[in-house]
Amino acid sequence: MRGMNDLLWRRALEGLEQPKKTPVLRVLEADARYIPVSTRRMVNVRDEGRCTHTDAGGSRCPNRENLDLSAIVPFSAGGRARAANLRLSCSEHR
Ligand SMILES: [Zn+2]
């Protein structure tokens, strides 16, 4: 009887464990979100140092302050840290 309980406990605890990530997978995940300085510069030049948000009337946001890079396809959805997937956006349009 005691042996059976131990087995059940062990199975329950195994179910709670997080799957282990290999070092290679961890590096790849970190790399997917890392934006190289050269890519940052490229996006900044392409987007003319201005927020890329365009309103329904076709007017582009004039904001040039508090800009940050945002992913068009989110990193969590498989988007990559490439210029094609990044755009400048102000704090209002992130
Ligand atoms: Zn904006």
CA 42 – ligand 1 centroid, Å: 19
pLDDT at 10: 75
Q: Is residue 29 part of a domain?
A: no
Q: How many domains does the chain have?
A: 1
Range of the domain at 90: 36-94
Q: Is residue 65 part of a domain?
A: yes
pLDDT at 30: 58
Q: Is residue 66 part of a domain?
A: yes
CA 85 – ligand 1 centroid, Å: 17
Q: What is the pLDDT along the chain (94 residues), one digit of tens a residue?
A: 566 677 777 776 666 655 566 666 566 555 678 899 999 999 999 999 999 999 999 999 999 999 999 999 998 999 999 999 999 999 999 8
Rounded distance between C-alpha atoms, residue 12 and residue 53, angstroms? 49
Instruction: Say if residues 68 and 89 touch (Cβ distance below 8 Å).
Output: yes
Question: How would DSSP label each residue in 22-69?
Answer: PHHHHHHHHHHH---HHHHHHHHHHTTTS---B-TTSPBP---SS-EE
CA 71 – ligand 1 centroid, Å: 14
Q: Is residue 1 part of a domain?
A: no
Segment holding 11, helix H or strand E? helix 2-16
pLDDT at 29: 55
Q: Is residue 12 part of a domain?
A: no
Rounded distance between C-alpha atoms, residue 42 and residue 83, angstroms? 7
CA 21 – ligand 1 centroid, Å: 38
Q: Is residue 58 part of a domain?
A: yes
Instruction: Report the predicted TM-score, pTM, of the whole model to 2 decimal places.
Output: 0.65
pLDDT at 19: 59
